[in-house]
């Protein structure tokens, strides 16, 4: 009799823990897009961009401000709370093969820390995936890369 109750209690506990877990798995864009410092450390590259996005970039003539809304490089402030209020560095954007390269107009300063962000990670996924997920996350929708020039 007691063994029978133990079975029911164990089953109830198992079903309770299983039912209280998250019901939906979060779906995120996994395009393989990444940010890296160029080989000669003169610029920053947004790499492994899908070919359909590269085609769109090549057909559009984006101004610097528009590029900065998408992919920008900033100098790391001494006060970490001011990171989101930094002005983006000015420079030139170049599209090559499957990456976008940014080279700052004044070059990077030695001994200075920088960070780069790509703000529309979800927009780099396939249109079919956007329709399937039906959600563009307004928060955490960027890739970030921190680096220091030595």
Residue 42 confidence (pLDDT): 93
Residue 28 confidence (pLDDT): 43
| Residue with more model confidence, 8 or 130 | 8
| Residue with more model confidence, 7 or 90 | 90
**Are the C-beta atoms of residues 88 and 74 closer than 8 Å to each other?**
yes
Residue 56 confidence (pLDDT): 82
Is residue 143 over pLDDT 70? yes
Q: Which residue has the tokens 């085609």?
A: 55
Condensed to tens digits (0 to 9), the pLDDT of residues 65-84 reads 888 888 899 999 999 889 88
Condensed to tens digits (0 to 9), the pLDDT of residues 14-68 reads 667 666 655 444 444 445 788 999 999 999 999 988 888 888 888 877 788 888 8
Residue 26 confidence (pLDDT): 41
CATH of domain 31-148: 2.60.40
Condensed to tens digits (0 to 9), the pLDDT of residues 103-134 reads 999 899 999 999 999 876 555 555 565 556 55
Residue 107 confidence (pLDDT): 92
């Amino acid at each position: 009799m007691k063994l029978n109750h133990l079975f029911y209690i164990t089953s109830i506990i198992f079903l309770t823990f299983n039912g209280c877990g998250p019901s939906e798995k979060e779906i995120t864009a996994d395009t393989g897009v990444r940010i890296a410092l160029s080989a000669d450390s003169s610029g920053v590259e947004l790499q492994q961009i899908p070919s359909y996005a590269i085609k769109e970039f090549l057909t559009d003539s984006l101004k610097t401000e528009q590029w900065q809304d998408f992919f920008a490089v900033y100098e790391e402030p001494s006060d970490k709370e001011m990171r989101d209020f930094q002005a983006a560095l000015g420079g030139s954007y170049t599209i090559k093969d499957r990456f976008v390269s940014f080279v700052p107009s004044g070059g990077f300063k030695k001994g200075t820390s920088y960070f780069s962000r790509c703000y529309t990670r979800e927009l780099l996924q396939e249109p079919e995936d956007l329709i399937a997920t039906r959600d563009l996350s307004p928060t955490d929708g960027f890739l970030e890369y921190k680096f220091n020039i030595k």
